[in-house]
Amino acid sequence: DAGVTQSPTHLIKTRGQQVTLRCSPKSGHDTVSWYQQALGQGPQFIFQYYEEEERQRGNFPDRFSGHQFPNYSSELNVNALLLGDSALYLCASSLQGSSYNSPLHFGNGTRLTVT
Amino acid sequence: AQSVTQLDSQVPVFEEAPVELRCNYSSSVSVYLFWYVQYPNQGLQLLLKYLSGSTLVKGINGFEAEFNKSQTSFHLRKPSVHISDTAEYFCAVTAVGSARQLTFGSGTQLTVLP
């Protein structure tokens, strides 16, 4: 049973460019959340997708956008990259409506470096 | 809104010694509490969670934590650590009834020394 998979594992971009990160949720999960983890910090919630719609959003600018596909996979897009966007981006999946006894499953992340 | 404070950024400890990683939280509503572990170049793995009931919760790898509502704390403990416990540990909180939007602390690096 495959867990949460993210691609690519590493990415280097230049300031001002745009980037797309991808996530496939754990089999049986229908909800995807994205987190940004800056170096030396804890993860920060970006947004959550369910039924192909953004359901919740953290305190991130509109440069951060996402998408969820009918197969529940998801993309995170960041436009006009800034140096401060350099971070590990984590995807987490869950089953909507399940209790917290069913935990979030995290992927290994995509390491984005902006130069 | 919720917030989490992990009081120690780094905790070095010798192998087979006990360890406590401290976590305090702030919230105006009832919360669920979690501890996650992150090994280098990996995602987060759930160690344990407090949802309700007994305030002492046991998790994987011999870890346990105690929820103290009056102190707004959720400290993580292990009676005897191993080299393999070396990792970053994150305390997290979410409001009861929320859709799994976790607020994390800044993490504690546990280093187990031989």
Q: Could you tell me the pLDDT band of residue A1, with boundaries at 50, 70 and 90?
A: low
Environment class of B5 (CB within 10 Å of its CB; exposed 0-12, middle 13-18, buried 19+): middle
Rounded Cα–Cα distance for residues A68 and A24 (Å): 10
Residue A99 clears pLDDT 70, i.e. is over it: no
Give the gap in angstroms from C-alpha A39 to the nearest C-alpha of chain B: 10
Average pLDDT over residues A32-52: 94
- CATH fold of B3-113 reads Immunoglobulin-like (2.60.40)
Other residues' Cβ atoms within 10 Å of the Cβ of residue B39: 13
Cα radius of gyration rounded to whole Å, chain A? 13
Task: State residue B101's pLDDT score.
Answer: 86
Q: Which of A42, A107, A108 is closest, CB to CB, to B104?
A: A42
Give the gap in angstroms from C-alpha B15 to the nearest C-alpha of chain A: 24
- For A61-81, write each residue's pLDDT tens digit: 999 999 999 999 999 999 999
Rounded Cα–Cα distance for residues A76 and A86 (Å): 14
Contact A21, A37 (CB under 8 A): no
Distance of CA A86 to the CA centre of its chain: 14
Which residue of chain B is at minimal alpha-carbon distance from A6?
B43
Task: State residue B52's pLDDT score.
Answer: 85
CATH of A5-114, one of 3.40.50.1820, 2.60.40.10, 3.40.50.10490, 3.40.50.300: 2.60.40.10
Which residue of chain B is at minimal alpha-carbon distance from A3?
B43
Which residue of chain A is at minimal alpha-carbon distance from B39?
A108
* Residue A59 in contact with partner chain B when CB distance is under 8 A: no
* Residue B30 in contact with partner chain A when CB distance is under 8 A: no
pLDDT over 70 percentage in chain A = 95
* Residue A110 in contact with partner chain B when CB distance is under 8 A: no
pLDDT over 90 percentage in chain A = 85
Average pLDDT over residues B91-114: 90
